[in-house]
Amino acid sequence: MQANHVAEALDIHEVMLYRWRMEMRRGQIRVKKKNIQIDPDIKSELKRLRKLEREHNLLQEEHALLKKAIQHSLQKKEKSLNSST
């Protein structure tokens, strides 16, 4: 979701949203945590989802690296063939 859409939905200026994000990251804004009870089944599903998302991201990174390695190998092979002729 883009910041301008969030700012518009909250009816605030986009700069204010960026400022709040920056202050939150710096620890200048504290959030009071409430004791929220989550259904154990939902909690386990959320945990499973997070794990799957991490695994998916890792597979995407591996896939991208393999594509680059294949491309590099093909270019190297092509140069080798061109230089031998």
> DSSP labels for the chain?
--HHHHHHHHTS-HHHHHHHHHHHHHT-S--PPP-----HHHHHHHHHHHHHHHHHHHHHHHHHHHHHHHHHHHHHHHHHHHHH-
Question: How do residues 56-84 score in pLDDT, each as one tens digit?
Answer: 999 999 999 999 999 999 999 898 888 87
The confidence score (pLDDT) of residue 85 equals: 64
Please tell me which residue, 62 or 4, carries the higher pLDDT value: 62
Q: pTM for the full model?
A: 0.50
- When mean pLDDT is compared over 8-12, 13-17, 34-38, 62-66, the highest value belongs to 62-66
